[in-house]
Amino acid sequence: MDSITAGLSPMKGGDGPYSYTNNSSIQRQGVEIAKVLINEDIAEKLAINEVISSSKLFSIADLGCSVGPNTIIVVENIIDSVKLKYQSFCHNYQGALEFQVFFNDIPSNDFNVLFKFLPSDRKYFAAGVPGHFQGRLFPKASLHFVHSSYALHWLSKIPKELKDKASPAWNKGRIYHANASDDVREAYSAQFAKDMESFLNARAQELVCGGLMALIIPCLPDRWDFCEKF
């Protein structure tokens, strides 16, 4: 398994006023908007007859799930949508399909809060998977649906040029690239490209053939003028 030496800090756990739980309504809106697209893709593109083996088990992973409740909304929607698809394919559907959901985040994520949020009447088997999603997290060909929202823009590390005073990409101790030189932007961009490549390589091995992946990533247009917008 790949090891990633990231000094990432988790979202604020617990359920206090500053917790992610109580400060993630913007992400919630994005996730709600994406629901429609995910449902359409499951209906049109998921090859349910090919992906389900005789065990009738459907495995979902939410990568960078944080502490909830958004992740719970996401997985319930995916499950409902897959059930609909399965019913339309298999007319004598008798609830035979079983679901297992893997909630992944970095090891310091407050999984206890997430587990407390899980509905007691949930219709799926749940497990927490600590680890960095730039590396392998699951066995080969074991997942049917991979979801990740508002997490992939987190870099696995600070590009080293940004901390090197002798480099043209030295970022003067700042952690952002607004109004920085092109060298700084390029260093961030190169790290993002590396991280995405590692992420996609890992998922390519873990997803079953015919499975689906939904990625929601916040973006800015090229050459965004920070001075004007903020």
Task: List contacts with ligand SAM (CB under 6 A).
Answer: 8, 10-11, 24, 27, 31, 63-66, 70-71, 104-106, 109, 132-134, 149-151, 154, 156
Which residue is at the shortest CB distance from ligand SAM?
Answer: 64
Shortest distance, CB of residue 104 to ligand SAM, whole angstroms?
Answer: 6
Are the C-beta atoms of residues 28 and 68 closer than 8 Å to each other? Answer: no
Shortest distance, CB of residue 85 to ligand SAM, whole angstroms?
Answer: 23
Shortest distance, CB of residue 40 to ligand SAM, whole angstroms?
Answer: 20
Shortest distance, CB of residue 20 to ligand SAM, whole angstroms?
Answer: 7
> Which one, of 51, 104, 55, 53, lies nearest residue 82 by Cα?
51
CA dist., res. 43 & res. 89, Å (int): 10
With respect to ligand SAM, which residue has the nearer C-beta, 117 or 154?
154
With respect to ligand SAM, which residue has the nearer C-beta, 161 or 195?
195
CA dist., res. 109 & res. 130, Å (int): 8
Burial grade of 149 (CB within 10 A; 0-12, 13-18, 19 or more): buried
With respect to ligand SAM, which residue has the nearer C-beta, 48 or 106?
106
With respect to ligand SAM, which residue has the nearer C-beta, 71 or 191?
71
Going from the C-alpha of 146 to that of each of 59, 60, 157, 213, 225, the distances in angstroms are 9, 6, 23, 5, 34
